[in-house]
Structure 1
């Protein structure tokens, strides 16, 4: 089963050049049953990546462009009155697909974001007095543009915490840029690349169960907990952390870190988790869960700097 996901990873890398962290993050979110927030300038194939994922698995994909005039019903659906029957009939919205791309999520107002929050947290939506279950396979990939903040609605901390991972993508190097030119030219000439067989939803659910059975040593479990504790009680680990962190990570971060480390080990075809697995996903899992102090902002300290300091000061078992 791991081979199928390895083939999917290779396919994603062939479609999204120069962004291995993005393609791996998408697979980690899929395997760990979480949602993904991707931040980066326009034109870096964020939409292309999640679209390629939808082609690699048996799933329905829908893209929603978030705008200031978007309404919650545009996501959830609404009750439509049928004159011929004299009754209301529910017309489902985009959230009833398996894979959702929420493009520029921070451009939508709070009401729309709260509707998405219920879907992400509970895998259900409520319209009027009725609650509707969403598909068992449900993955939201939301994007943000860090370059343009005018007219945006920053995501509340409660919603940020619902995302399993927060990835940052940047421009490719010159060599990769040339490969992108070749790829787009070949696509324009209809030279399609080979695509692996689509992974069934049953295989995805089986992989999720297999990931939970991987061996995680007690010392590594304690290591995960200590990393999270360092975000809340930083003074016990480093003299710098109390001045930098205003609010630390929640228990949801502990769960996310363990799940992603397990998924990382499983993708590497190992039946046990190592400290390297935990450290490899640490920044992406915690990046959006910390609130820094004004002192940190004044000193130019970023969240990534704080997380690096935590990795350096918490002893590795």
Structure 2
């Protein structure tokens, strides 16, 4: 609930506060939305399994969770690259920022994130849907991950593992390389700023993005950029607890507490809510038929 409400709060603040109507916060709102979708794909079902003695799932439900989890997860990494590019333009070319990141370009970048992730994982999904399955059909995981799925297949899955490795390499390493290049240019530009206050403000803007990017890439590269994913399943479960629950929980606090504009918007919104609740407590009631006393 904290994860969903925290990311929803970010989306609402960006939608309602005029100071947050810029490309950076537009991308951040879509990133928060993908975080909500990624978390809700996994956590509600996991919590339901905690309360049930017989933990079973139909194949179509299992496959649906698998598909949407990796769809939304892939979208997040594309947004990492887009947000880093936004920071590069804002800090390295501030005068050209409004002319570069126009509304049509921002809309195309967001469309690229959602459609691009769909096209990346579609071949692997289609190949998995044609696999034969046998055995006890028991998955040693708290959600429908790729490696436990392949363990149940009664066929050679070498090609699918190779395809997953290539897709993960293109998505994770490719987007990470572009993100690192953007941040390298940003750091060199910040170091050239003469005033210490200007450098501190620029670093604080990028620090929240860099923290989220480091956590996201570190876990997924370790898990997926390997030729075979059948080893270290228990370690993968621990890492997925971090990626699907802890990281989305921390992201709203990282973005809100390290961003001055976001903190001001949040404090003003809380002030308006507090003033509204005070007005509701004191509501004058008029008597439409007052009693008249005569002597």
* TM-score of the pair, normalised by structure 1: 0.24
Determine which structure has greater relative contact order: mean sequence separation of CA pairs < 8 Å that are 6+ residues apart, divided by chain length.
2
Structure with the larger helix share: 2
Structure with the larger strand share: 1
* TM-score of the pair, normalised by structure 2: 0.25
Rg larger for: 2
